[in-house]
Amino acid sequence: GQNIDQPTEMTATEGAIVQINCTYQTSGFNGLFWYQQHAGEAPTFLSYNVLDGLEEKGRFSSFLSRSKGYSYLLLKELQMKDSASYLCASLDSNYQLIWGAGTKLIIKP
Amino acid sequence: ETGVTQTPRHLVMGMTNKKSLKCEQHLGHNAMYWYKQSAKKPLELMFVYSLEERVENNSVPSRFSPECPNSSHLFLHLHTLQPEDSALYLCASSQVLGEAYEQYFGPGTRLTVT
Q: Which of B83, B75, B78, B89 has its CA nearest to residue B44?
A: B89
pLDDT at B2 > cutoff 70: no
Residue B102: which pLDDT band, with cuts at 50, 70 and 90? very high
Interface of A with B in 8-67 (CB under 8 A): 8, 30-31, 33, 40-45, 48, 50
pLDDT at A95: 87
The residue type found at A6 is Q
CA distance to partner chain A, nearest, from residue B42 (Å): 4
Kindly state the average pLDDT of the residues B48-69: 88
Query: What is the pLDDT of chain B when averaged over all its residues?
Result: 92
Using CA atoms, how far apart are residues A34 and A45, in angstroms rounded to an integer? 6
